[in-house]
Amino acid sequence: MSRFWSSTLNRLSPYVPGEQAQRSDVIKLNTNEHALPPSSEALEAGKAIDPERLRKYPDPHSKALTKAIADFCKLAEDNVLVANGSDEILAFAWTAFLSDSEQQPAIPAMTYTFYPVWAQLLGNGLHRVPMRENLSIDFEAMSSWSGPVVFPNPNAPTAMAVSLSDIESICASDPDRLVIIDEAYYGFGAKTAAPLIRQFDNLLITRSFSKSHALAGLRVGYALGSRDLIEGLRRVKDSFNSYPVDAHAQTVAAVAISDSDWFEQASATIIENRAELKAGLEGLGFDVLPSEANFLLAKHPQHTGVTLTEKLREAGILVRSWSSEDLLPWVRITVGTKNQQQTLLAELKSILFGA
């Protein structure tokens, strides 16, 4: 603590990112990166970039990338804003729309742990909506909240998705309520709410290239929303950093989102691997929640998630767990390659049964 810190900073509990592997032989299944390499077309575009583009400042509006995203989402270009990852977009949204809101935004009680950080740093708190018994989002309770709502679809860390009809209902129930949907895990089976943007000007969607397009190291995300919401985000962006996305990232991401063949094949592979991982875990006695993301949330009756995480780390396998009471039983496992998953399941079998 410093005497120069503000009272907000003194109270702040920063977000803690997942552990990063320090050795190349570690199997990393803890931070939900895509299991496959990115589009080869996108990688080639990055290698071929004109050095002159790197000498100069990048396009502050990411026009080529914005157009590629708009085409991919079947929306207009003024429905899109690009930034450094969806976390940055969400921080912009908190600043633009929630910082001086008369009512606190509602979030699911079990959800992405960055939301409370933004609420402390950029807003005035949160209203937490208890989960249903099966850990799905209680949409009746969310809809009954009169203020803004923020939730991921699929949710994190549960991996469970909500229906498009539920999303349409919550947007329509109060046209003056802002609905922010974090679609960071779009692309693995859940229905996107993007088509509803033409119908509802109170809907804002955030997405990332990190999961869906295997570009977590590039740090590119985007928002989809009405022209007014996007302009609000742009005003915040330009008040922090008018050149947020570098030229190389713009080039690679624009080609990546245009490579529909890669996207469809890669998503199908993750869905197939996810099913195999779920079956393997259940065969070892785990309870596994339904997933439409590129990870699974599972628990075993004989071990906490923290215990399993520690034992797997000793074997060179990283997964994610939490010490909080509601998440203590659970371990979150990223969908990996078939070989990675076979190694994980074999190690879990050894931990559980000594075989």
Tens digits of residue pLDDT in 232-248: 999 999 998 888 899 99
Q: Is the pLDDT of residue 80 over 90?
A: yes
Q: What is the pLDDT of residues 98-121, one digit of tens each?
A: 988 778 999 999 999 899 988 888
Question: Residue written as tokens 């390499």?
Answer: 37
Q: What is the pLDDT of residues 133-159, one digit of tens each?
A: 999 999 999 999 989 999 999 999 999
Q: Is the pLDDT of residue 20 over 90?
A: no
Contact between 312 and 345 under an 8 Å Cβ cutoff? The reply is no
Q: What is the secondary structure of 94-122 as a DSSP string?
A: IIIIITT-SSPPEEESSS-TTHHHHHHHH
Query: In the predicted model, what is the mean pLDDT of residues 219-231?
Result: 97
Residue 141: which residues within 8 A CB-CB, separation 6 or more?
A: 129, 130
Higher pLDDT, 276 or 323: 276
The distance in angstroms from the start CA to the end CA of the chain is: 49
From the list 351, 350, 253, 296, the residue with the least C-alpha distance to 155 is 296
By percentage, how much of the chain surpasses pLDDT 70? 98
Whole-number pLDDT of residue 347: 96
Q: Is the pLDDT of residue 22 over 70?
A: no
Q: Can you tell me the distance from the alpha carbon of 146 to that of 105, in angstroms, rounded to the nearest whole number? A: 9
Domains of the chain plus CATH, in order, are 18-37+261-353 (3.90.1150.10), 40-258 (3.40.640.10)
Predicted confidence band of residue 7 (pLDDT cuts 50, 70, 90): confident
User: Which one-letter DSSP state was computed for residue 339?
Assistant: H
Contact between 205 and 223 under an 8 Å Cβ cutoff? The reply is yes
Q: Is the pLDDT of residue 24 over 90?
A: no
Whole-number pLDDT of residue 1: 67
Task: Name the helix (H) or strand (E) containing 76.
Answer: none
Tell me what the pLDDT averaged over the chain comes to: 93
Q: Can you tell me the distance from the alpha carbon of 193 to that of 275, in angstroms, rounded to the nearest whole number? A: 24
The model's pTM: 0.94
